[in-house]
A = this chain, B = another copy of it.
Amino acid sequence: MAETLIAAVDILKQNKLKITKQRHALLEFLLTNQGHYTDIVAVDAYMRTEFPGMSHNTVYRNLKEFEEVGIVEQNTEQERTRVKYQCDFHHQHHHHFICQNCGKVTELQMCPMDFFAEQLPGYDITGHSFELYGICADCKAAGITESLVKN
């Protein structure tokens, strides 16, 4: 965990971004939720509670900058923007299963495009989205049988 933070700090340095208290705190918070998506509004609320005086500006701008340099993944589904620490910093193509209960992200091996070559003659396919939702094995084992997504 510590070395992951160091890796993130290195990335900031490489991109000539200063290491401020606020950025460090944001990274630490993201790190504690490693592997899970967190609602960006919740991140903002948490940071502003934990560090009174911190501004929306700081949270939103930094999360966006973190995404630009590859420390964070943003994801907007069902009208909510979520962020997650991108712990391994590898950008290789993959898709996600997202637990509707705990937000945990499981990376998938398979890409539907493997099965979709040449299905639309004459078209240029430049992008695709694919995501699975449900309840992860941990939550299911803990007895959660239906979506508990917060409103």
**Residues of A participating in the B interface, judged by any CB pair closer than 8 Å:** 76-79, 97, 100, 106, 108-110, 112, 115-116, 119-137, 140-141, 145, 147
Name A131's contact: one of B108, B129, B136 (CB within 8 Å): B129
| CB neighbours of A115 from chain B (8 A) | 110, 112, 115
| CB neighbours of A79 from chain B (8 A) | 76
Name A128's contact: one of B76, B125, B132 (CB within 8 Å): B132
Distance in angstroms between the alpha carbons of A130 and B79 in the assembled complex: 17
User: Other than the known A108-B119, A126-B134, A128-B130, what 9 A-B pairs have Cβ atoms closer than 8 Å?
Assistant: A76-B78, A97-B120, A109-B119, A112-B116, A116-B132, A121-B137, A125-B132, A126-B135, A127-B132
Contact A137 B122, CB 8 Å, known A79-B76, A129-B131: yes
| CB neighbours of A108 from chain B (8 A) | 119
Q: Is the Cβ of B128 less than 8 Å from the Cβ of A131?
A: yes
Q: How far is the CB of A37 from chain B (nearest CB, A)?
A: 14
Interface-centre pick from A119, A121, A128 (highest chain B CB count, 10 A): A128
